[in-house]
Structure 1
Amino acid sequence: MMSASRAAERAVEHVTALTGRRAESVVGMERADGDGWRVTVEVVETHRIPDSADILAVYDTEVDADGELVAYRRVHRYPRGRVGRD
């Protein structure tokens, strides 16, 4: 069985490879059905100067027990520093 930390690493690797963008952080995790994990990854979608103007996005992913990507989708975009969701 894959550990939570390893699942998070694999999810970040997959999101980075698919989007070509840098992952900012893992903002959520939970066990998926079976031996997999659901991992929510925050990504810098558009880098701006100053950094406080960056556009961030949240991606929901699911990795299986081997760390392979099973599901992936962008669920939200927002400017850095915005508190809460619209």
Structure 2
Amino acid sequence: MTLKFLGIIPNTPDTDSPTIWLDQETGDLLIQSYRATEEEVKACREIGSIPGHSTDVPDHETIVRLPKVMLQYIPKPDSE
């Protein structure tokens, strides 16, 4: 795996630092951020996604809260 650092919230303390990396082999993003609260997870389950799709969060997945300021580090598709 070859990772490329994309960004971190500026001026964060060294113990509270949402960060984004790009896996240069797959194009996947790896995101370190705040774990969603139980209330936020409950709201996501209530809204759901597409009809017939489970609203449960599998053990191998999680919901994270990505601060708005971090959106600037998400790469645009090559076509843009």
Q: Settle same-fold status: TM greater than 0.5.
A: no
Alignment TM-score, normalising by the size of structure 2 = 0.29
Larger radius of gyration: 2
Q: Which protein is richer in strand relative to its size?
A: 1
